[in-house]
């Protein structure tokens, strides 16, 4: 009995265990599974690009953790690329979701999140949204061809020691093909189709189109097509001008006793400008020769050469050095002109200066020292004798300090103080006067710098030169200086110059005079090859120690017609008149000139 009872108990236990196992299996089969969208923590419609990205992520994690060693490669690849619906493997089988073939729901379908295993009826399965990956892949078929070439190049660059079985390679290639189709822009362009030469294949921006050749472009016209081109000489650009012409005048020597004549005039002018990276230099010069063709005998020459050097030093310092030489016959209308000579004696001048400029904020400081030496040649009288003029030789030393304040880059007011000393080679002249003197001057003015529109400076003040000899009064008077250029419009230039000079003399009981000179000039480019110029002049000479004075008025107008860049025809008319309250000084001179000018 005991053995039968034990067998009966054992059989009951076996039946109970089997029933428990069957119940657990049934519950496991009937348990609802979460939807794929819930596993990926997405809501709503899931895009295929998101599904492919998730599949690729899982495949990379499996390869990194060595999961492929535990799971057969074929199964792992099948899981990564498995379709969301059941695909029958038997020939002729019909898919569960093929409603057109009359198939019903299968137990192998993944239940929906709303499925209730206890419900008596089941909701019909929804039709799945057809995939658009294939359609997009077809739309960008041309782009994916170039992408396939790029993929082949990448595979060829893999290292030899990197092992990949055929199944995994096939799965990866399948995933890449799907990613190529899914990685498509909204506008239908494939992002992965971009290759190294894709930029060259793009349509050129209209703003970056190639322009025409240089030969086809319009050449910019020169500001002055008839300006001298110049010749390169060392580090300087040399521009010479030669002018030859004839002058018919009513007063050959511009004196009260002058007669008419026809003169041959030759003039040579030049400029030489440095072509240096730093600093600059400028050399200018002219020479003029006159010879009578008919009428009053005139034969003279005059000229000047001057050089200027600008050097930039450290600490906002600039140095300006000048040196010049001039030779010209003394004017027949000068107060000290020698009467009864075949030709006026030659007067020569050597002058030089050195200036230092310093900028401190808006303050401008300039200290200039200058030296000028005049020496006179002997006068040859008509009776064959010679008259020495050595007692007129003198040297003037001056020092000038200018202080300015820059209100704006175009406007700088300034004040200027001048101190000087004049020394004669002979302490006493032929009449026994000591003509050495001390010089003092003060001026206020303004510098203008508005580019080509208006530039230069203007100043007014007082100038006094007291002679050492107490018998001679000091030469003193207002001082006016100007150097302005104004261009009201292109092709027109108006200039204003003015200066105040102290003229010495060796006439007994006389100290000298102050000469004020002013010139208003104008130049107009009528055409590119036709230029008109004009000038008005006013000179006023005030004699010290008397009420004597001279006034000289002059006017001039001319034209220059350029035949080409190197040659032109020039003409001018001029009139000059001196009026004085001293006897024997009045004169009038009218002249006309015609000549040919060449330049290089």
Q: Name the residue ranges covered by the structural domains of the chain.
A: 35-80, 237-599
Is residue 493 within 8 Å of 523, Cβ to Cβ? yes
* 326 DSSP β-pair partners: 304, 349
The more confidently predicted of residues 39 and 312 is: 312
Compute CA distances 125 → 42, 97, 119, whole Å: 21, 8, 15
Is 80 exceeded by the pLDDT of residue 251?
Answer: yes
Is residue 444 within 8 Å of 415, Cβ to Cβ? yes
CA angle 314, 317, 319 (to 5 degrees): 115
Instruction: Determine how many CB atoms are found less than 10 A away from the CB of residue 228.
Output: 18
Tell me what pLDDT residue 338 has.
81
Distance CA 16, CA 587 (A): 156
* 186 DSSP β-pair partners: none
Least confident of 141-155, 219-233, 316-330: 141-155
* 558 DSSP β-pair partners: 533, 572
* 555 SS3 class: strand
CA angle 493, 499, 500 (to 5 degrees): 165
CATH annotation of 237-599: 2.40.160
Mean pLDDT, range 238-262, rounded to an integer: 93
Tell me what pLDDT residue 156 has.
46
The more confidently predicted of residues 235 and 129 is: 235
The more confidently predicted of residues 148 and 394 is: 394
* 535 DSSP β-pair partners: 521, 556
Angle between helices 73-81 and 48-65 (to 10 degrees): 160
Percentage of residues in the chain having pLDDT higher than 70: 65
Q: What tens digit of pLDDT does each residue of 130-144 get? A: 444 445 545 545 454
pLDDT band at 331 (very low <50, low <70, confident <90, very high): confident
Distance CA 299, CA 380 (A): 14
Is residue 510 within 8 Å of 582, Cβ to Cβ? no
Nearest Cα residue to 290 out of 336, 329, 326, 334: 329
pLDDT band at 421 (very low <50, low <70, confident <90, very high): very high
For residue 356, count CB atoms less than 10 angstroms from its CB and return exposed for 0-12, middle for 13-18, buried for 19 or more.
Answer: middle
Which pair of tokens denotes residue 163? Answer: 């092992």
Mean pLDDT, range 292-298, rounded to an integer: 91
pTM over 0.85: no
Distance CA 438, CA 162 (A): 104
- 466 contacts: CB under 8 Å, gap ≥ 6: 437, 438, 440, 474, 475, 476
């Amino acid at each position: 009995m005991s053995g039968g009872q034990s067998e009966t108990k054992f059989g009951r236990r076996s039946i109970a265990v089997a029933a428990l196992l069957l119940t657990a299996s049934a519950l496991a089969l009937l348990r609802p599974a979460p939807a794929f969208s819930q596993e990926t923590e997405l809501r709503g419609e899931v895009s295929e690009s998101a599904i492919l990205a998730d599949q690729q992520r899982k495949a990379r994690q499996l390869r990194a953790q060595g999961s492929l060693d535990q799971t057969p490669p074929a199964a792992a690849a099948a899981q990564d690329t498995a379709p969301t619906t059941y695909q029958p493997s038997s020939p002729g089988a019909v898919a569960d979701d093929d409603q057109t073939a009359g198939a019903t729901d299968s137990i192998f379908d993944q239940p929906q999140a709303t499925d209730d295993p206890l419900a008596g009826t089941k909701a019909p399965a929804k039709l799945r949204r057809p995939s658009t990956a294939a359609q997009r892949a077809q739309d960008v078929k041309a782009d994916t061809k170039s992408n396939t070439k790029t993929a082949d190049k990448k595979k060829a660059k893999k290292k030899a020691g990197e092992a990949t079985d055929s199944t995994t390679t096939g799965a990866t290639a399948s995933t890449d093909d799907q990613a190529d189709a899914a990685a498509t822009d909204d506008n239908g362009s494939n992002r992965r189709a971009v290759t190294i030469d894709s930029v060259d294949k793009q349509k050129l921006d209209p703003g970056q189109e190639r322009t025409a050749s240089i030969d086809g472009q319009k050449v910019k016209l020169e500001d002055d097509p008839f300006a001298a081109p110049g010749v390169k000489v060392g580090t300087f650009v040399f521009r010479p001008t030669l002018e030859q012409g004839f002058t018919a005048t009513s007063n050959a020597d511009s004196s009260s006793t002058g007669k008419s004549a026809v003169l041959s005039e030759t003039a040579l002018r030049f400029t030489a400008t440095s072509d240096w990276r730093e600093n600059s230099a400028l050399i200018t010069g002219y020479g003029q020769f006159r010879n009578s063709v008919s009428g009053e005998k005139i034969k003279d020459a005059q000229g000047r050469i001057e050089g200027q050097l600008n050097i930039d030093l450290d600490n906002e310092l600039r140095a300006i050095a000048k040196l010049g030489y001039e030779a010209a016959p003394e004017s027949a209308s000068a107060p000290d002109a020698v009467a009864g000579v075949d030709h006026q004696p030659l007067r020569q001048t050597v002058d030089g200066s050195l200036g230092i400029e310093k900028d401190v904020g808006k303050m401008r400081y300039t200290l200039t020292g200058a030296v000028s030496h005049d020496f006179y040649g002997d006068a040859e009288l008509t009776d064959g004798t010679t008259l020495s003029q050595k007692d007129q030789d003198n040297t003037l030393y001056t020092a000038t300090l200018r202080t300015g304040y820059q209100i704006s880059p175009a406007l700088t007011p300034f004040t200027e103080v001048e101190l000087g000393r004049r020394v004669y080679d002979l302490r006493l002249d032929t009449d026994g006067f000591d003509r050495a003197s001390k010089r003092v001057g003060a001026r206020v003015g303004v510098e203008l710098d508005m580019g080509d529109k208006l530039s230069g400076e203007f100043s007014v003040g007082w100038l006094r030169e007291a002679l050492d000899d107490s018998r001679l009064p000091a030469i003193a008077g207002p001082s006016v200086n100007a150097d302005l250029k104004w261009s009201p419009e292109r092709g027109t230039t108006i200039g204003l110059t003015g200066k105040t000079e102290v003229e010495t003399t060796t006439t007994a009981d006389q100290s000298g005079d102050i000469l004020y000179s002013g010139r208003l000039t104008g130049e107009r480019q009528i055409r590119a090859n036709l230029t008109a110029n004009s000038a008005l002049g006013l000179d006023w000479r005030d004699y010290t120690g008397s009420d004597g004075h001279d006034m000289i008025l002059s006017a001039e107008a001319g034209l220059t017609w350029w035949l080409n860049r190197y040659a032109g025809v020039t003409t001018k008319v001029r009139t000059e008149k001196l009026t004085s309250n001293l006897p024997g000084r009045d004169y009038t001179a009218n002249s006309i000139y015609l000549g040919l000018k060449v330049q290089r």
